Amino acid sequence: MTNSEKLQRKTRIKENIPLYTMLILPLLFFLIFCYVPMFGMVIAFKDYRFIDGIMGSDWVGLLNFKMIFQQPQTLAIIRNTFVISLLTLVVSFPFPIILAVLLNEVRTKWFKKTTQTILYLPHFFSWIIVGGIVINIFSINHGPINFIIEALGGTPFQFMFNPTSWMSIYLGAGIWKDTGFNTIIYLAALSSIDPTYYEAAVVDGANKWKQITKITIPCLIPVIVLQFILATGKIMEVGFDRIYVLQNAMVRNISEVVSTFVYDVGIRAGDFSITTAMGLFDSVIGLILVLTVNQIAKKSDNALF
């Protein structure tokens, strides 16, 4: 490196000192709350006792993993986690894209802003509130859905106690709560599309459908692939709050997932070794899925890394 290049590098670093300073807090956040806790993964390989601490507990190797897969409910828990996550991904993933495209086509500003506000609002409700609303709507005794069914001469249906209807309600509640907020990323991507593309398409006689399919969607593909890769990495992560609020004893055979297992066995029963092993297994599966999808995405030059 020549003296001129060294001088340019020092000058560039000095100019960017404010930006480097702004990075300190995010880096500290990830260091303290993401990387330091990774040390706790060693509990998965120990017979952890709170009184002995992590380092003082006995090393048992892969015994905790063997114990997990020796339990009859383990495979069912893993299956439920995978099925629920996969259904959530397949069903929920297209909605923010569709909504973003539709909102992008709205030209009346007040209507667009009002619609966005209404759609974003559910995201800021906790799952306790959303769960209470959902349970009350589909209640067999006082729910408005069953009230309408009875008014039409039908028989009230136990929506929350039937596995099929419960799963539909679970997916629908997630779509209602998060779709509006998830459109922000796609709307940001849409705002970066060069308007001259659409002007040229209009000159060529392309209608709205052609503009969306030939310009809008292709321009969104890199963002869609990125979001899909990130979503795939979380395919084994079913949020505890939504499951815990909506589940009941009648649908436990399909709603018992890794997060509820960790809560019951780890938090309530105090068996931290088993639940840490389950969490580590969960994370390894997520990593494998991310690497696999990213490798596939490389073929279209839209890989994350």
Burial of 255 (0-12, 13-18, 19+ CB in 10 A): buried
pLDDT at residue 203 tops 80? yes
Residue 222 burial (10 A CB sphere; 0-12, 13-18, 19+): middle
Q: What is the mean pLDDT of residues 175-188?
A: 91
Q: CA-CA distance, 227 to 230, in Å (whole number)? A: 5
Say if residue 297's pLDDT is above 80: no
pLDDT at 144: 92
pLDDT of residue 292: 83
What's the pTM?
0.83
Averaged pLDDT of the chain: 87
In tens, the pLDDT along 253-268 reads 888 888 888 888 888 8
- Between 184 and 6, the higher pLDDT residue: 184
Cα–Cα distances in angstroms (integers) from residue 104 to residues 3, 108, 193, 304, in the given order: 51, 11, 11, 26
What pLDDT, on a 0 to 100 scale, did the predictor assign at position 93? 92
What domains are defined for the chain?
A: 1-61 (no CATH), 65-300 (1.10.3720.10)
- pLDDT for the residue 170: 93
pLDDT tens digits for 1-56?
Answer: 677 777 788 888 888 888 888 889 999 999 999 888 888 889 999 988 888 888 88
108: left (phi > 0), else alpha (psi -120 to 50), else beta? beta
What mean pLDDT do residues 146-157 have? 89
Residue 304's pLDDT is 64
Measured in whole angstroms, how far is the alpha carbon of residue 138 from the centre of its chain?
Answer: 25
Q: Which two tokens stand for residue 251?
A: 């649908």
Looking at the chain, the whole-number percentage of residues with pLDDT higher than 90 is 22
Average of per-residue pLDDT across 214-232: 87
**Residue-level pLDDT at 1:** 60
Rounded to an integer, the average pLDDT of 176-193 is 90
Residue 31, token pair as written in the block: 């260091």
Residue 175 is predicted with a pLDDT of: 92
